[in-house]
Amino acid sequence: MMEHRGLVIGLTGQTGAGKSTVAALLRERGLTVIDADQIARAVMQAGSEVLAGLASAFGADILFSDGSLNRPLLAQRAFSASEQTARLNAITHPAIIQKMRAETARAFREGVKAVVLDAPQLFESGENQICDFIIAVTAPEPLRIERIMKRDQISEESARLRANAQKSETYYKEHADILVRDYPPFDLSTELEPVWERIRQFNAKKNPESCF
């Protein structure tokens, strides 16, 4: 387990549930958010070892002529079956985890008191083990499918493949510390109150004069 001097908050949930909105609100409150998706794009740049591994596993045609990744084609193949998704994770997770941990350590060295690990694959990667508490964002499947189709400009079939590759809402309810819902009739500011309270409790133990 990685040692850390500050608060590590896990942020995860189902694709299309509103995790990015929650991450933005956490940033607005001054928290440092480490985005696993951004890191994934960085470690899968043209010429990288990760990209070479993906091409070997899923076919050389997932690369464009300039060596960059054809993300829709990779998603189509990687999310077509659970064993394919497992292959994707086995290739990408080690590099993503290494970089996330390096950025977390750097943030704490720079004096940051709380870091949010924004990671859709938080549990799958095992990074939930270094978190002090975990927020999971969930939403009904029809709403998530609609949001994914609009966000990624993909078909309903492709959106369902992505959604079905993730863990169920029941899993998140059982394994997360705080469940957040970003859809009517739930109010997101109210949903996040338990998060602020957890941070206040942590700060109070570390610094009694904190007024987060």
pLDDT tens-digit series, residues 98-144: 999 999 999 999 999 899 999 999 999 999 999 999 999 999 999 99
Residue 210 has pLDDT above 70, yes or no: no
Question: What average pLDDT is seen over the chain?
Answer: 91
Residues 6+ apart with CB under 8 A from 146: 16
Reported as a pLDDT band with limits 50, 70 and 90, residue 206 is low
Report pLDDT for 165.
85
187 φ, ψ (degrees, to nearest 5)? -100, 120
**What would the DSSP string read from start to end of 60-107?**
GGGB-TTS-B-HHHHHHHHTSSHHHHHHHHHHHHHHHHHHHHHHHHHH
pLDDT at site 203: 78
Q: Give 158-168 pLDDT, tens digit per residue.
A: 999 889 888 89
Strands (E), the chain: 7-13, 32-35, 114-118, 133-138, 178-181
Task: Say yes or no to pLDDT of 69 above 90.
Answer: yes
Give burial (CB, 10 Å; 0-12/13-18/19+) of 179.
middle
Helix (H, G, I), strand (E, B) or coil at 45: coil
- Kind and range of the H or E element at 143? helix 141-152
Residue type present at position 54: L
Whole-angstrom Cα distance, residue 61 to residue 6? Answer: 43
> Residue 54 pLDDT > 60, yes or no?
yes
Instruction: Quickly state the pLDDT bin for 202 (edges 50, 70, 90).
Output: confident
- pLDDT reported for residue 147: 95
Q: Quick count: other Cβ atoms within 10 Å of Cβ 123? A: 20
- Strand-by-strand arrangement of the 178-181 sheet: 32-35, 114-118, 7-13, 133-138, 178-181
